[in-house]
């Protein structure tokens, strides 16, 4: 699979590309936002590793522009401690983030986890609940005949809920399923993804697809 690495630091690009190459990925690199947009349009990568702190056009703006044309999975790199930037990135449609400095092994693991959420490992049968059909192997979601463009994380969330539509899953159960047991993902991060998922389903005509049971968690609603 092809990964586009976008960072203005050549040493960091080299570290990331070496780690991804050893893990079996093909890599492309870009040092600025315009180059990233060009590579995304021409090369159609399977995932983008994107630095927030790019010069001129920052990573948030790059993500915003990519989301107008593509749902390619995006993993943010950030050197900032301010959670607002990371949450804003998730609101724009990023799938996950890694804070610098980071372990190359951790980054590779995050990349693999995002791609697994996107495809369901490639062997999962389509899921159906009411008017919603989800096919992770094709990265496809539909409400009736209307296509719903989901990020990898949004697709993973919906898949977890649709596997057992009669259950209400706690935030901890959803976090463990998507990011792994013991992952330091905050409730705000999960809520950002859930908010985006609700909005997209509502735009497709399934505004009641997800239900919140206060004090318990999230489940599937009527569709």
Mean pLDDT of the 8-16 span: 95
155: domain CATH number is 1.10.10.10
Lowest mean pLDDT among 97-101, 105-109, 157-161, 205-209: 97-101
Helix (H) or strand (E) holding 175: helix 171-179
User: pTM, whole model, 2 decimals?
Assistant: 0.77
Q: Whole-number mean pLDDT of the chain?
A: 89
| Domain end point (choices 66, 98, 119) | 119
Q: Into how many domains does the chain fold? A: 2
Percent of the chain with pLDDT over 90: 57
- Beta-bridged to residue 135, according to DSSP, are 140
- What CATH number does residue 77 fall under? 3.40.50.2300
Examine the pLDDT at 185 and tell me if it is beyond 80: no
Over residues 158-167, mean pLDDT:
90
The residue out of 87, 119, 151 marking a domain boundary is 119
> Buried b / exposed e across 29-66, counting CB within 10 Å, b at 16+?
bbbbbebbbebbeeeebbbbbbbbbbeebbbbebbebb
Q: What is the C-alpha to C-alpha distance for residues 153 and 197, in angstroms, rounded to an integer?
A: 9
Asked whether the predicted pLDDT for residue 183 surpasses 90, the reply is no
- Looking at 83, 101, 119, the residue that finishes a domain is 119
For residues 26 and 110, state if they share a domain.
Answer: yes
**Each residue's pLDDT tens digit, 94-118:** 898 888 889 999 999 999 988 887 7
Domain check: are 131 and 209 in the same one?
A: yes
Domain span at 24: 2-119
**pLDDT of 81:** 63
Are 159 and 61 contained in the same domain?
no
């Amino acid at each position: 699979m092809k990964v586009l690495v976008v960072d203005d630091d050549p040493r960091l690009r080299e570290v990331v590309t070496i780690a991804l190459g050893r893990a079996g990925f093909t890599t492309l690199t870009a040092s600025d936002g315009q180059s990233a947009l060009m590579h995304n349009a021409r090369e159609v990568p399977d995932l983008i590793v994107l630095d927030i702190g790019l010069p001129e056009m920052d990573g948030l703006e790059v993500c915003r522009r990519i989301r107008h044309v593509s749902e390619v999975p995006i993993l943010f790199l950030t050197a900032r401690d301010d959670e607002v930037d990371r949450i804003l990135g998730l609101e724009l449609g990023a799938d996950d983030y890694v804070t610098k400095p980071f372990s190359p092994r951790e980054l590779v693991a995050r990349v693999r986890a995002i791609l697994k959420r996107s495809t369901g490992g490639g062997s999962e049968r389509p899921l159906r609940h009411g008017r919603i059909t989800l096919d992770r192997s094709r990265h496809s979601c539909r409400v009736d005949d209307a296509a719903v463009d989901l990020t990898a994380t949004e697709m993973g969330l919906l898949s977890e809920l649709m596997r057992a539509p009669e259950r209400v899953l706690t935030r901890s159960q959803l976090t463990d399923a998507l990011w792994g047991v013991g992952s330091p993902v905050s409730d705000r991060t999960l809520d950002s993804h859930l908010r985006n998922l609700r909005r997209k389903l509502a735009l497709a005509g399934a505004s009641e697809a997800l239900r919140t049971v206060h004090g318990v968690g999230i489940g599937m609603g009527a569709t």
